[in-house]
């Protein structure tokens, strides 16, 4: 079996590895380190949790042990898709450079630009960054990439999923053509293959496991879940998850629970805490300081359950995670491999359980096609019993007016027992005396010729019409044509 001492690493790097207790490299490390030390481009394909980070950090720091950094011109560049993964790479760098005088800078979102610029101005040997923040510094004129000797792209398939490929291509164009490129991915999508053919020069391909395979040391299980009612699906599903956690007992020392949506991450974390579980949420919308505190607590063992979105699926390097629960079946089949790869790391045993609702069966079929195996079915621990959370949460939903088909006003109505009604004997209808009918005598109206004659007489005397009406025609003013003033009789006579 190969030992790290046989890989031609710097003696000071070997000393740091010994202090960390590492003696035997993993297959991906044993295959990638020798060609990387020779200066060749490397294309590494391995499933999550196989030690890819050390595969590029160890040869990189060995090559950089000679030389010195210049201001604003890093000597090497490591690109990561998420802040958490970038922070993990930075921790590995600190661990392995214990006896080397190499500097680093971590460029991620949620941290002050000013502090990061101060590190770059002093000059760094290793620059670890997410693509967006790196380009922000470059566009500000605070960073030059013309001195990069070694460029690493970690979790390239996750870069593709997050839409970073155009940024990666732009960054490749900003670095020297003579750079050495180390490219690592868990899966090999067609777009990833195109990039490797474009930007890697005759790479050494190391594929220690078939692309998109799951670790043999991970016990997998699938719970087929069918809700009693569609409107209570979420609460019933949370009850199933709690039953699964309880069924694992003491063997579940800690666990990562994955949801597809950030909103569901927060809802699930609050629900678990309400039932007395030690749980916290982590996703991309949280402040970086809060994410760091939550991850530190999970690593130290003071936090048992970490509810996460897929942003954390690639960025958590915690060796002792006993369980992974997929509260939602991932919509991208490759994410299943990365999620369950958070357990069973460094040769340990792990367990991954997934809850599948009927609407998720199409995603399940894609996952089983990708890993080329059927996921073992596990009995629902609640059987056909109704979820207890349904009865407890229903009054709260009614208070918020969330029941379908009823208004909030209906929900606030108080149901009371009907009061007895006294029977009153029907009274006789009152007698109404008819009033004597009064008749109005018709008023004799003058004929039309008489009215016209009377009007002419009043106008000749300068009088107005009765009832205060003016004899002027509205809209004509005082100047009214004579033919309008003429009566029909006068017109016929004329």
Coil, helix or strand for 62? helix
**What residues contact residue 394 under an 8 Å CB cut-off, 6+ apart?**
none
Predicted pLDDT of residue 389: 46
Side by side, the strands of the sheet bearing 323-326 are: 279-282, 305-308, 255-258, 323-326, 350-356, 218-224, 377-378
Predicted pLDDT of residue 394: 44
198's tokens: 């474009």
Distance CA 257, CA 243 (A): 14
Q: Is the pTM of this model over 0.75?
A: no
**What residues contact residue 426 under an 8 Å CB cut-off, 6+ apart?**
none
Cross-strand bridge partners of residue 77: 127, 151
Predicted pLDDT of residue 48: 67
Give the residue from 204, 155, 211, 208 showing the smallest Cα distance to 180. 204
Torsion of CA 330, 335, 338, 341, to 10 degrees: 30
DSSP labels, 160-194: HHTT-HHHHHHHHHHS-TT-EEEEEESS--HHHHH
Q: With helix as H, strand as E and coil as C, how does 77-140 read? A: EEECCCHHHHHHHHHHHHHHCCCCCCCEEEECCCCCHHHHHHHHHHCCCEEEECHHHHHHHHHC
Which helix (DSSP H) or strand (DSSP E) does residue 281 occupy? strand 279-282
Distance CA 339, CA 354 (A): 11
154, 179 Cβ separation under 8 angstroms: no
| Superfamily of segment(s) 4-207 | P-loop containing nucleotide triphosphate hydrolases (3.40.50.300)
426's tokens: 């029907």
Rg (CA), the chain: 41
Predicted pLDDT of residue 487: 63
Predicted pLDDT of residue 187: 76
Task: Locate all alpha helices (DSSP H) within 231-378, ordered by sequence.
Answer: 233-248, 262-274, 288-300, 333-340, 361-371
Where along the chain do the CATH 3.40.50.300 domains lie?
Answer: 4-207, 218-399
Residues found in the chain: 494
Q: Give the right CATH number for 218-399 from 3.90.1150.10, 1.20.120.1200, 3.40.50.150, 3.40.50.300.
A: 3.40.50.300
Q: What is the pLDDT along the chain (494 residues), one digit of tens a residue?
A: 578 999 999 999 999 999 988 889 988 999 999 999 999 999 998 876 678 889 999 999 999 988 888 888 999 999 998 888 898 899 999 999 999 999 999 999 888 899 999 999 999 999 999 999 999 999 999 999 999 999 999 988 888 877 888 999 999 999 999 999 999 987 787 888 899 999 999 999 998 865 566 778 899 999 999 998 888 999 999 999 999 999 999 999 999 999 998 889 999 999 999 999 999 998 877 887 888 899 889 989 999 999 998 765 565 667 789 999 999 999 888 788 888 888 887 678 899 999 999 999 999 999 999 888 899 999 998 875 554 444 444 434 444 444 444 444 444 444 454 555 555 555 555 555 555 554 555 556 667 777 778 777 777 766 555 444 444 455 555 566 666 666 666 666 65
Q: With helix as H, strand as E and coil as C, how does 324-339 read? A: EEECCCCCCHHHHHHH
29's tokens: 């490390």
Predicted pLDDT of residue 485: 65
Give the residue from 296, 336, 333, 294 showing the smallest Cα distance to 314. 336
Distance CA 489, CA 463 (A): 23
């Amino acid at each position: 079996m190969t030992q790290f001492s046989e890989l031609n690493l710097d003696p000071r790097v070997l000393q740091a590895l010994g202090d960390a207790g590492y003696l035997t490299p993993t297959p991906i490390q044993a295959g990638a380190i020798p060609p990387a030390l020779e200066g060749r481009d490397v294309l590494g394909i391995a499933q999550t949790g196989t030690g890819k980070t050390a595969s590029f950090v160890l040869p990189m720091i060995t090559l950089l042990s000679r030389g010195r950094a210049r201001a604003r011109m890093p000597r090497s560049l490591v690109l990561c898709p998420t802040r958490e993964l970038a922070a993990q790479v930075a921790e590995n760098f600190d661990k392995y450079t214990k006896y080397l005088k190499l500097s680093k800078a971590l460029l991620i979102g949620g941290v002050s630009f000013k502090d990061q610029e101060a590190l770059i101005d002093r000059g760094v040997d290793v620059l670890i960054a997410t693509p967006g923040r790196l380009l922000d510094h470059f566009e500000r004129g605070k960073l030059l990439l013309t001195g990069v000797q070694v460029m690493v792209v970690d979790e390239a398939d996750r870069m593709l999923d997050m839409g970073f490929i155009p940024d990666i291509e732009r960054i490749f164009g900003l670095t020297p053509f003579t750079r050495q490129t180390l490219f690592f991915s868990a899966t090999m999508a067609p777009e990833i293959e195109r990039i490797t053919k474009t930007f890697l020069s005759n790479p050494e391909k190391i594929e220690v496991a078939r692309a998109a395979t799951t670790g043999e040391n991970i016990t997998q299980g699938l719970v087929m879940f069918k809700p009693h009612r569609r409107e209570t699906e979420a609460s019933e599903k949370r009850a199933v998850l709690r039953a699964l956690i309880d069924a694992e007992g003491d063997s579940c020392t800690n666990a990562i629970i994955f949801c597809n949506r950030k909103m569901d991450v927060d809802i699930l974390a609050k629900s678990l805490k309400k039932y007395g579980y030690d749980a916290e949420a982590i996703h991309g919308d949280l402040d970086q300081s809060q994410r760091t505190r939550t991850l530190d607590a999970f690593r130290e063992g003071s936090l048992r359950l970490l509810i996460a979105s897929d942003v954390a699926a690639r960025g958590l390097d915690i060796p002792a995670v006993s369980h992974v629960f997929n509260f939602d079946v991932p919509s991208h089949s490759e994410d299943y491999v990365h999620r369950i790869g958070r357990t069973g790391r460094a040769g340990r045993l792990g367990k991954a359980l997934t809850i599948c609702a009927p609407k998720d069966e199409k995603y399940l079929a894609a996952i089983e096609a990708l890993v080329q195996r059927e996921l073992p079915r596990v009995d629902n621990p609640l059987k056909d019993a109704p979820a207890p959370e349904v009865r407890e949460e229903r009054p709260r939903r009614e208070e918020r007016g969330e029941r379908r088909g009823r208004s909030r006003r209906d929900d606030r109505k108080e149901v009371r027992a009907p009061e007895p009604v006294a029977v009153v004997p029907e009274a006789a209808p009152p007698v109404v005396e008819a009033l004597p009918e009064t008749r109005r005598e018709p008023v004799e109206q003058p004929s039309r010729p008489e009215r016209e004659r009377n009007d002419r007489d009043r106008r000749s005397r300068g009088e107005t019409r009765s009832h205060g009406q003016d004899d002027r025609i509205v809209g004509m003013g005082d100047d009214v044509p004579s033919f309008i003033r003429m009566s029909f009789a006068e017109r016929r006579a004329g």
